Amino acid sequence: MDQNTTISNQINTVIASFCTDDESYDFELFGSGHINTTFFVKRKCGGNKDYLLQRINHQIFKDVPGLMNNIKLVTEHLKNKLASVPGANPDLEVLTLIPTKENRFYEIDQNGNFWRMYDFLHSNRYDVLETEQQAYEGGKAFGKFQAMLSDMDADLLIETIPNFHNIEMRLKRFNEAIINDVAGRVKEVSPEIAFLQERSEAMLKILGLGEGSILPVRIIHNDTKFNNILLDKADKAQCVIDLDTVMPGYVAYDFGDAIRTIINTAAEDEADLSKIQLNIPLFAAYTKGYFKEAGFFLSDREIDSLLKGVLLIPYEQIVRFLTDYLEGDTYYKIHFPLHNLQRTRAQIELLTKLEHHYKELDEIVQGIAALPSNENFLEEKNELT
């Protein structure tokens, strides 16, 4: 038997371990996530009921049972909330886990890999945005997500990756990577290291505000890049996905990571730096959508912290991509040898532009935050003007 047939048989065995409604499936690699390995699973005999199968990266998520319990609790909480909202459809708006025949939410294969399955949601997905409508809907999706989780007990959730957005810890590991230089790459990246070092003090602000209890800890998504939202066929917000990192944190983290992907006219790893520009109307549209859903619970100090997150998260990504490059590319999936370095340089370009426009962006946030709530809740077409 050739290697492909063996892998195919293994995946078919995994599929059969879940409570699916048919025996014969086709599957193909799917999506552009950097962490898990995702397959689109379709019944050979056709029909609309498709599945999304994922091999969970257990090198990164060390406690998969704990992680899956988090996802079970979060999806249950969201579905219960939506059940009482007229017109809402919990099956389309919240991920639905498929249990295994042994009534668990994950399966372990013969090689010790962890798998999970969701209902596949037929929807629109974007790595790079095209319209203000999409940005606005993205803001609503993540705002509503935080709002709906605001009354969930955070103690129920484990920290799937401890210190995920803790920049002090990220910098510590980065400095260790420089000292260890296991891949012999430090000499190639002096300008990038200097860029990070020049800003390291300034980037500790959010952490300091949190430690001083000025910013409240809330349950947030923690990985709000735009391709972690599904929009429906009319580009309306449908479902927030990729729930692996739903954990306590500061709202500025979610705002910053969303803006990182929304405001950038190019891909996160664009090689041609001249293509990386700021699309400020998309920034404003996202912010309006976000405040529409989250404005009612944000404190003034949290509102003031949002733009700090817009600088912090691209900075943190640079630290993380460069650390991975220095450590020999062990964390993120890469598609060519210098991919992490290219990502690093693209994010440096983005951060530099964000720094230049900081004041202008902050004024936009403050202006939207100051809108009377009735104005914030106008019909959608008016809100974007």
Give me the numbers of helices (H) and strands (E) for the chain, helices first please: 14, 9
CA 118 to CA 122: how far, in whole Å?
12
Interaction between residue 138 and Mg ion (CB under 5 A): no
Site string for ligand GN1, 255-284 (x = CB under 6 A): --x----------x----------------
Minimum separation from the CB atom of position 368 to ligand ADP (A):
28
Neighbours of 334 (CB within 10 A): 19
Q: Among residues 100 and 317, whose Cβ is nearest to ligand GN1?
A: 317
The answer to whether 108 and 14 have CB atoms below 8 angstroms apart is no
**Other beta carbons less than 10 A from residue 108's beta carbon:** 16
Q: What is the CA radius of gyration of the chain?
A: 21
Q: How far apart are CA 169 and CA 96, in angstroms?
A: 34
CB 195 within 8 A of CB 173: no
Q: How far, CA to CA in Å, does 101 sit from each of 107, 114, 192, 224, 270?
A: 9, 15, 50, 32, 43
Query: In the bound complex, what is the minimum distance in angstroms from residue 209's beta carbon to Mg ion?
Result: 28
Minimum distance between the CB of residue 282 and ligand ADP, rounded to whole angstroms? Answer: 19
Among the listed residues 207, 212, 202, the one whose alpha carbon sits nearest the alpha carbon of residue 250? 207
From first CA to last CA, the distance across the chain in angstroms is: 61
121: contact with ligand ADP by CB under 6 A: yes
Residue type at 300?
A: D
One of 107, 132, 137, 242 touching Mg ion (CB under 5 A): 242
Cβ-based nearer residue to ligand ADP, 240 or 303: 240
Binding Mg ion by CB under 5 A: which of 54, 100, 160, 228? 228
Q: Which residue in 100, 133, 245, 305 binds ligand GN1 (CB under 6 A)?
A: 245
Provide, rounded to whole angstroms, the least separation between the CB of residue 112 and ligand ADP: 19
DSSP code for 333:
-
User: Which one of residues 17, 228, 264, 305 is an interface residue with ligand GN1 (CB under 6 A)?
Assistant: 228
Question: Contact region for ligand GN1 (CB under 6 A) — 30-38, 139-147, 177-185, 374-382?
Answer: 30-38
In the complex, the residues that contact Mg ion under the rule CB under 5 A are 33, 228, 242
In the complex, the residues that contact ligand ADP under the rule CB under 6 A are 30-31, 33-36, 38, 52, 95, 118, 120-121, 125, 227-228, 241-242, 244
In the complex, the residues that contact ligand GN1 under the rule CB under 6 A are 33-35, 223, 225, 228, 242, 244-245, 257, 268, 317
